[in-house]
Amino acid sequence: MKAKVEAKNIFKIFGDDPKSAQNMLEEGRSKEEIFEATGLTIGVQDASFAVQQGEIFVIMGLSGSGKSTLVRMINGLIAPTSGEMLVDGTDIANCSPQQMREIRRTKVAMVFQHFALFPHKTVGENAAYGLKIKGMGAAERRERALAALEQVGLRAHADSYPDELSGGMQQRVGLARGLAAEPEVLLMDEPFSALDPLIRSDMQEELLELQRSMKKTIIFITHDLDEALTLGDRIAIMHNGAIVQIGTAEEIVDKPADDYVAAFTKDIDRSRVFTAQSVLSPAEAIDLSKDTAASAIERMEQLNRDAIYVLDGDRIAGTVTYRDLTASMRDNGAALSDAIIADYPTTKSTTPLHELYPLCESGLPIAIVGRKGRLEGIVEPQAVLAKVASDSDEAA
C-alpha cells in the first residue's frame, strides 16, 4: 500500500554550512560535538517513516528532540537540508510554489499547541478563518465552519466568543478550524499540552471518537508518552533529532529498542497498554458429543491445564475443571455434562488487561469470544499477572 505521508532519510541542520555538519554526522560525531565544533544545530538526522491512510501516527520526544521540526517539514514550513518528504508521492521539498499552495489548500492542515483564537471574532468566524485567507466566499465559509463545529460538538456555540468557552472548548475550536479545510492529513503539534490533565484526557477520548468517523490521516506530536500510547496506532520516538524506534504501543513497551526507550517505558502501567490478545492461548476445547470425563482429564493432563472449555457444536457449553472431574469420577463416575460450569468468564481479544482483573478472580480460564460468540482462545489468569508484572527482576 502506498503511504499517505512518507519521510525518506530526512536531515535538517540549522546554520550556514549544513553539509559539513552532515559529513560529521556520517563520521559518527554526536549532535553536541558538532555544535561545539561548528555552531551548527542538528534538528533532524536521517529520519524515515511511512504513514498510511487513516492512521494516527504519533511522533513523541522531549523538548529539543526534533519532533516539531520534523512535522513542520510535512507542510513546507521548514525545508529539509536533504532527503525527501512525500505527501501522496509529491516531494514537499522540491515542489513548485503552486503545488505547495495546492497541498496546503486541499491536503494538509495544522492544529497548534496554542489555540491562537481571535478574541474579537466569534467561534464560527475563528473556525472559518483559514478558509477566508484562502479566498472562499462568506456563505461557503460559514457552511464549512458550522459543519466542522458540529463534528467537535460546538455548533451551538458558533456565535459565542472565545472568552465565553472553557479551555477544552477553545481547543476544539482550533481543531474545528483544521477540520473546516477538509484536509486529507491533519498535523497536530502538541494540541492538548496546555490543557488541565482531566480536560486533556477528555480531548484525547474525543479525538479518538472523532477519528472513528473521520478516518483522517493524523500525525500527532507530543512529549507525553502516556498520550502517545493512548492515541497512536503507531508511535515514533525521537531522541537528539533521530527516530530511535517506531512501533505500536505494545511493541514499544514490550520490546524497547534501546536504553533510552526502556527508561521512558519502565513506569508505564502495562495493564493499560496490553490487551487480552497479547496473552491469548489456543482454546484446545473438547467436544460435548464426543468426549467423556476420562478423555477430558487426559486432554488436560496433556496440555498441563487445570480447566478446559467444552463445545456443543459451535456454541460454548461451559468449562470443566480437573479437580471437579477427578472427584466426580472417583465418587460416582459422573458424566462429563454433569461437571460443566455454565457460569464462566468471557471477554474480547481487544479488552485491556486491567479490565480482566475481576474476571481472573474466578480462577477459571477466560474465554475469548468473537462477534458470533465463538470461542477464539483462552486467557489464563496467571498469564495476565505475568504480563503486567515488572521486568525489574529480569533486568537485574
Q: Residue 110: in which H helix or E strand, if any?
A: strand 108-111
Cβ atoms 169, 117 nearer than 8 A: no
Q: Max Cα separation, the chain?
A: 90
Which is it for the CA torsion 204, 47, 267, 193, positive or negative?
Answer: negative
Q: How many CB atoms lie within 10 A of CB 314?
A: 9
- Give 115's pLDDT tier (boundaries 50, 70, 90): low
Q: What is the pLDDT of residues 47-99, one digit of tens each?
A: 999 999 999 999 999 988 999 999 999 989 999 999 999 999 999 988 888 88
Write the pLDDT tens digit of every residue in 211-257: 998 899 999 999 999 999 999 999 999 999 999 999 999 999 999 99
The answer to whether residues 334 and 340 touch, using CB atoms and an 8 Å cutoff, is no
At 396 the pLDDT is 39
Query: What domains can you pick out in the chain, each with its CATH number?
Result: 5-107+183-268 (3.40.50.300), 277-388 (3.10.580.10)
Q: Please, is 155 exposed, middle or buried when counting C-beta atoms within 10 Å of its C-beta (0-12, 13-18, 19+)?
A: middle
Each residue of 165-206: pLDDT tens digit? 988 888 889 888 888 888 899 999 988 887 888 888 888 998
Is the pLDDT reported for residue 390 higher than 60? no
Query: What single DSSP character describes residue 33?
Result: H
First to last CA, the chain: 42
Q: Quick one: what percent of the chain has pLDDT higher than 90?
A: 60
CA 213 to CA 231: how far, in whole Å?
15
Burial of 262 (0-12, 13-18, 19+ CB in 10 A): middle
Digit-coded pLDDT (tens) for 343-375? 999 999 999 999 999 999 999 999 999 988 899
Average pLDDT, the chain: 90
Answer yes or no: are the C-beta atoms of 344 and 367 closer than 8 Å.
Answer: yes
Predicted structure pTM score: 0.84
Whether residue 333 has pLDDT greater than 90: no
* Cβ proximity of 44 and 10 under 8 Å: yes
Predicted local confidence at residue 171, as pLDDT: 84
C-alpha cell at position 285: 476445547
DSSP string, 36-56: HHH--EEEEEEEEEEE-TT-E
What whole-number distance in Å separates Cα of residue 276 and Cα of residue 271? Answer: 10
At residue 192, the pLDDT reads 86
pLDDT reported for residue 14: 94
